Amino acid sequence: MSDAKAAVALGSRRVGTEGLWQIGGLLIALAVGLPILAVTWLAVFPSENIWPHLFETVLWDYIETTVRLMVGVALGSAVIGVGTAWLVTTAEFPGRRVFQWALMLPLAAPTYIVAYVYTDLLEFAGPIQSLLRDMFGWTSARDYWFPEIRTVGGAVAMMTLTLYPYVYLLARAAFLEQAGITREVSRTLGAGPWRTFWRVALPLARPAIVVGVTLTLMETLNDFGTVDYFAVRTLTAGVFNVWLTMGNVGGGAQIALVMLGFVVLLILLERLERRRRRYHTLATRHRRARRTGLGGAARWAAFGACLAPVALGFLLPGGVLLKNAVLFASESWSSRFPDFAINSLLLAGGAALLCVTLATFLAYAVRLRGGRILSSAARFASLGYAIPGAVLALGILIPFGAFDNAFDGWMRDTFGVSTGLLLSGTVAAVMFAYVVRFFALSYGALESGLGRIKPSMEMAARTLGEGPTGTLRRVHLPLMKGTLLTAALLIFVDVMKELPATLLLRPFNFDTLATYVYQFGSSEQLELSALGALTIVAVGLVPVVLLNQAVARDPSEVI
Amino acid sequence: MYMLRRVFRSGIAGLLILGGFVGASTAVQAAEEVNVYSYRQPFLIQPMFDAFTRETGINVNVVFAEKGLVERLKAEGRNSPADLIFTVDIGRLADAVEGGVTQVVHDATLEQILPAAMRDPEGQWFGLTQRARVIYASKDRVPLEEARALNYEDLADPKWRGKICTRAGDHEYNVALFAAMIEKHGEAKAKAWLVGLRDNLARKPQGNDRAQVKAILEGQCDLALGNHYYYALMLQNEEQFAWAQAANMIFPDQAGAGTHMNISGMAMTKSAPNRDNALKLMRFLVGDLAQRMYAEQNNEYPLREGVDPSGLLESFGTFKRADQSLAAVAKLRPAAIRMINEVNFNAGPSS
């Protein structure tokens, strides 16, 4: 950042505008962080102190389960994500070109839907166990052992299958970005492919991988649908147990803060990791390394290694959904379906646009002036990603309601007019929830995207008389097209799937694809939810494919 | 650069469209209306709302959510547009009353139709339908006579070790039952009972009520706790018919206090801007037509006396219902949930 400050010094006559950038940035961070502040406020004033009770009973269980889940998902998605990224980037084998983008597909499927599908398949009455019983003449569950899906292990599997694409996306971009020459030099110096991977490529890609794993872990912490369905007692389950069943919102908020503690730890680790590396891309065009042609068994091993996650995370659940969608088409079709789809699309598109715009503003404000306060505020604003959606929604309800009622009260007192609720129960509130929830995705992307642009670029622009705004518009934004697109697409896919905040904050008679699917899913009429789920997946595919093209075009622009 | 400009231009267009979209969705409708926040699933209650609109011309606007509607009411305060709140059990009704978001309704029609135990003595909430917490018993492995003699207390008997299935302990249906046990026996005895039940579980509590009956078919358990209407739902579902066939549905405690009953219910919110329409809807829902629809479509027991339960419900036979005060049961929910945590019920039999 000191380079950026030097750049600022050069253009000191424009300090006035920069002050505005800083104030604007701070306001954005505050607005996005508002719900977190509201949840903190709830936690500080609980209706009843339940800590002693939780401490003595289930708290440690919650924490232990959460840690096991996080470690499992981190390992699983790192191995799959990095392994497949390495294969499609550096090796030549059958299907490589298809796998390149197909490995992203599982991202389009909501984790809890995949969990539903697998439970149906793998449980005692499901087709697989039934077949086994028929084949071996077993009669009851006591005759044989079969892995239980509704366990921490099962939850790890479901989340790994649907979340590893974050790691894949980032690892692949990192591998592509490492100028091919690095690897070639390593090979020329006598290192084999494995040694090159462990000693050269992996350490260089590590920051990107850490970011990817952090994203999967924040999603893991946020998940409620899957762990609830699997009866896995994580901290998230604890939040709802305390809030809903014990009727103690404050206690629920306190557990949510414990979860935030986990995230802060993660982010600190990730920052530590990132701090060690600061390099700016020099070359505009990378020389790509030639891919190693694999022979015989290795070809097919690579093929299998890439096929497995795609088949398990996408093809199989997608196939089951497709079958049900066709079989139950007439019952699950609603004439309002196109409305739901349009609502989903508009919300997802709007949220993506807003997030990216705000994150650009904030990240650029931080770059211009830096400053401990502003950059801490920016990090604080990114925490929304890890708070369970329903809790986040609470954090929005409360300040919005307070504002609406205060404003209404003032209007009544002053002018005798009631304004009613201006923000509560509107689409704007839903949109705000999405921005808070997914701000981290765009801010992280923009921050590292800006970080890759050499400060000398803006120094040049500023010396030539361009102000900060002009520099952003004419230098940084064009250089970050890919980054902006990636961030927007990730948010788009995630908003399509978002459920708890949408349910709680939406206006009357307002549905999205996700809430429509939920109606059936929550009553365990999975067959009927298939059509909606499939539509979510299908709409999510478009950005996934676009995303792939963006990475292939210029990997340096991805997150 | 050009591309970027294009992206921005379409972005601005998008924002404008979105602006219109926000405006449209929040526009106040001029027509007669009543606004509902509902914890009940849409498909269970929408048909009654549609019938109400056909009869009165009053539109019913709904927000369905699984969590947080009481908090939404609290945050919206006196300006909340909601008139009524609907819940699937006594717990959320009690939460709403405790949260101060409901108002007292004194209405001769409602008071005349609903039995006193099925509404709040002060008029803060009203029941709509009753659901029984029953025991499903394997047809193959539990002789019918033995099953019929079961009561809730028997579920802690060591003879059932490793043979009972239920959903999570902190699910509202179980919480209400456990609270009812506390009300009946006091905390110490109820806790000993809960420990016994936990030790008898065949597996970690999981799945919904239907899944428990399925587990009986699969031989994972001999007895399961569930709500009665799932039996009807399964009988009417091609795939699930076999699950239901594997089990007898038993109304417990027929020789004693009677089967534990929970209610689905409604309350008028404090703010209720459309008070008159809301009252009309409340009366409609306890009326003959709506009560019959509840019985026929949802297989819940109508609260209105004299309404025939559906043929299917009648085939389940008449049974003795516990006449515990639901208000008293609701008050014991926090104690029940503490107990569930203390015995680590959700960890299952191994703990």
**H-helix or E-strand containing B38?**
strand B33-38
Distance between CA atoms of B167 and A366, rounded to whole angstroms? 50
| C-beta atoms of A346 and B21 within 8 A | yes
Q: Do A231 and B170 touch (CB under 8 A)?
A: no
d(CA A131, CA A137) in angstroms, rounded, equals 10
Rounded Cα gap, residues A269 and A272, in angstroms: 5
Q: How many CB atoms lie within 10 A of CB B118?
A: 21
d(Cα A521, Cα A530) in Å, to the nearest integer?
A: 9
Closest CA of chain A from B216, distance in Å? 11
A404, B79: Cβ pair inside 8 Å?
A: yes
Q: Which of A245, A427, A523 sits opposite B25 (nearest CB)?
A: A427
Q: Supply the pLDDT for residue B342.
A: 92
Contacts of A350 in chain B (CB under 8 A): 14-15, 18
Q: Which of B4, B18, B206 sits opposite A478 (nearest CB)?
A: B4
Question: How close A122 comes to chain B (CA, Å)?
Answer: 13
Collect all residues with Cβ–Cβ distance below 8 Å to A554 and sequence separation of at least 6: A482
Q: Which of B21, B79, B95 has its CB closest to that of A421?
A: B79
**Across the interface, do A503 and B65 touch by the CB < 8 Å criterion?**
yes
Out of A78-82, A234-238, B25-29, give the one with best mean pLDDT. A78-82
With helix as H, strand as E and coil as C, how does A422-491 read? CCCCCHHHHHHHHHHHHHHHHHHHHHHHHHCCCHHHHHHHHHCCCCHHHHHHHHHHHHCHHHHHHHHHHH
Predicted confidence (pLDDT) per residue in A531-554, tens digit? 888 888 887 777 777 777 776 766
SS3 A246: coil
Nearest CA in chain B to A522: B41
- Measured CA to CA, the distance from residue A544 to residue A162 in angstroms comes to 13
Q: Consecutive sets of 10 residues in chain B, 351 residues long: mean pLDDT of each?
A: 46 50 45 91 87 95 91 93 94 91 95 89 93 96 95 96 93 93 96 96 88 89 94 86 92 95 95 96 94 89 84 89 89 91 87 51
> Residue A286 has what pLDDT?
52
* Section A227-255 average pLDDT: 86
pTM: 0.86
A350-366, pLDDT tens digit by residue?
999 999 999 999 988 88
Q: CA Rg, chain A, in Å?
A: 25
Q: Is the predicted pLDDT of residue A48 greater than 90, yes or no? A: no
d(CA A359, nearest CA chain B) in Å = 15
Q: What percent of chain A has pLDDT over 70?
A: 90
**Maximum CA extent, chain A:** 85
Calculate mean pLDDT across residues A260-272.
Answer: 79
Please write the tens of the pLDDT for every residue from A472-496.
888 888 878 777 887 888 899 899 9
Determine contact, residues A186/A228, Cβ cutoff 8 Å: no
pLDDT at residue A163, as a whole number:
95
A77 is written with which tokens? 């998605």
d(CA B270, CA B268): 7
> For residue B302, what pLDDT is reported?
92
Phi (first) and psi of residue A329, to 5 degrees: -55, -45
Instruction: Say whether pLDDT at A7 is over 80.
Output: no
- Do A426 and B25 lie within an 8 Å CB cutoff? yes
Report which of B203, B189, B188 is spatially closest to residue B152, judged by C-alpha positions: B189
Distances in Å between the Cα of A391 and the Cα atoms of A39, A186, A398, B101, B249 are 8, 50, 11, 20, 38
pLDDT at A515 over 60: yes
Could you tell me which residue, B99 or A455, shows the higher pLDDT?
A: B99
Can you give the pLDDT at residue B231? 92
Distance CA A517, CA A114 (A): 13
Interface confidence: ipTM more than 0.90: no
> Closest Cα to residue A439, out of A489, A367, A381?
A381
Cβ neighbourhood burial of A31 (10 Å; 0-12, 13-18, 19+): middle
Q: How buried is residue A376: exposed, middle or buried, by Cβ count under 10 Å (0-12/13-18/19+)? A: exposed
Report the residue from B64, B207, B344 with minimal CB separation from A57: B344
CB contact under 8 A, B76 and A401: yes
What pLDDT digit, counting tens, does each position of A409-454 carry? 999 999 988 888 989 999 999 999 999 999 988 888 888 778 777 8
Chain A: nearest CA to B228, how far in angstroms?
A: 15
Confidence check: pLDDT of A327 > 90: no
Task: Give the whole-angstrom CA distance, residue A429 versus residue A502.
Answer: 9
Beta strands B223-227; B164-165: pairing state: parallel
Q: Give the burial class of A41: count Cβ atoms within 10 A of its Cβ; 0-12 exposed, 13-18 middle, 19 or more buried.
A: middle
pLDDT value at residue B3? 43
C-alpha closest to that of B139 among B36, B64, B201, B217: B217
Tally of CB atoms within 10 A around A192: 10
Q: Which pLDDT band, with edges at 50, 70 and 90, does A4 fall under?
A: very low
Question: pLDDT at position A284, please?
Answer: 46
Residues of B in contact with A408 (CB under 8 A): 79
Quick one: pLDDT at residue B8? Answer: 46
**Local structure of residue B29 (DSSP, 8 states):** P
User: How confident is the model at residue A200, as a pLDDT?
Assistant: 77
Distance of alpha carbon B242 from alpha carbon B236, whole angstroms: 11
pLDDT per position as a tens digit, A107-152: 888 898 899 889 888 887 778 888 888 888 887 777 788 888 888 9
Residues of B in contact with A54 (CB under 8 A): 341
**Average pLDDT of the segment spanning A15-19:** 70
Cβ-in-10-Å burial (0-12, 13-18, 19+) of A140 comes to exposed
Q: Which amino acid is at B165?
A: C
